[in-house]
Amino acid sequence: MCANGVAMNPVTLASLLMIASGSIHAVVNAIIKGGKSKMASRAATDGSSAVILLPATLLVPWPVGAWGWLAASAVVHLLYLYAMIRTYEAADFSAAYPAMRGTAPLLTAMLSVMLFGEHLAIAVAAGIVLIGAALFALVFHRHLGRAALGWALTTGSMTALYTIADAHGVRAAPTPFSYIVWDFVLIGTESVAIFAVATKGAVFADMRAAWRPCVAAGALSIVTYGLALYALSLGPTAPLAALRETGMVTALLIAIVFLKERVTAARVVAVFGILGGAALILAG
């Protein structure tokens, strides 16, 4: 509701929610990147989100009509979670985060057009080209090695796929909150399980050592992706997915101030190139 008593346009509200979601997402990922064990940090963060929201499963409707989308999102998250950890193990936060996140709106826009018939305006096409150019700038300036780039592109691809699945799922569920709650509970359980299997149970000792910051990250995860899912229930998928990447400015500041990474001019240009592409996609 605006100050003059006029209701806010749903798409405008969704856009504001996505901007907030993007910045909080950068904070969550910085906590994970800063952990001694990236797998433990990811598992503890997602597990905390699941535990926090588990009681809410008794308060929201069953996500009837959305179980298929929840299952699809869970399957995609299997590869997403592993690829994200491998990216953070192979590259600095200020290089890895833009590459992972910059790929997502690019592919989300393309898949939304090809699979679901969303209109591709000229501005959107220009944004896709600009994002691609910014990603190549990271590669050509040797800020991402071949392995890191491969994992980053895989992470971005999986982000695009689960964003599309979740966008349709949150719209198909009886209420957005029903989908949000069950999505976090399922993904959190899955995250702990896959990293436990990958490390033959060793991850649990590292999770106990990292639980304090990861509980905070888990709570913030609920806020950031909860806002994103609610926004996707209100507006079009591709532009909103692009707008969420404004959080890369926050990620750049975190890398400089808190992680003490050396951020070169090329990285800064790449980040703002990706942001410019996201803005063009939004404008389209």
Would you give the end-to-end CA distance of the chain in angstroms? Answer: 26
Closest by CA to 157, choosing from 73, 76, 253, is: 76
Q: In the chain, where are the structural domains located?
A: 10-283
Which one is predicted more confidently, 236 or 5? Answer: 236
CA distances from 26 to 15, 32, 76, 246, 271 (A): 17, 10, 21, 10, 13
Q: Residues 229, 180: contact at Cβ < 8 Å? A: yes
pLDDT in tens, 218-235: 999 999 999 999 999 998
pTM of the model: 0.86
Output the pLDDT for position 275: 85
Output the pLDDT for position 267: 78
Residue ranges of the alpha helices (H) in 117-145?
A: 122-140
The helix (H) or strand (E) run that includes residue 49 is helix 38-53
Tokens for 105, please give them: 């709106």
**For the chain, what percent of residues have pLDDT higher than 90?**
52
Output the pLDDT for position 68: 97
pLDDT in tens, 155-199: 999 999 999 999 999 999 999 999 999 999 999 999 999 999 999
Number of H helices, E strands in the chain: 12, 0
Handedness of CA 44, 45, 46, 47 (dihedral sign): positive
The tokens 């707008």 sit on which residue?
243
Output the pLDDT for position 140: 60
263 has a pLDDT exceeding 60? yes
Output the pLDDT for position 141: 62
Output the pLDDT for position 273: 87
Output the pLDDT for position 236: 87
**Band of the pLDDT at 23, cuts 50, 70, 90?**
very high
Which one is predicted more confidently, 52 or 6? Answer: 52
Which one is predicted more confidently, 158 or 268? Answer: 158
Mean pLDDT taken over the chain:
88
2 has a pLDDT exceeding 60? no
> How far, in Å, CA of 94 to CA of 182, rounded?
32
Mean per-residue pLDDT, 115-131: 82
Output the pLDDT for position 268: 84
7 has a pLDDT exceeding 70? no
**Looking at 47-56, 60-69, 131-140, 257-266, which range is the least confident one?**
131-140
**Band of the pLDDT at 4, cuts 50, 70, 90?**
low
pLDDT in tens, 49-94: 999 999 999 999 999 999 999 999 999 999 999 999 999 888 888 7
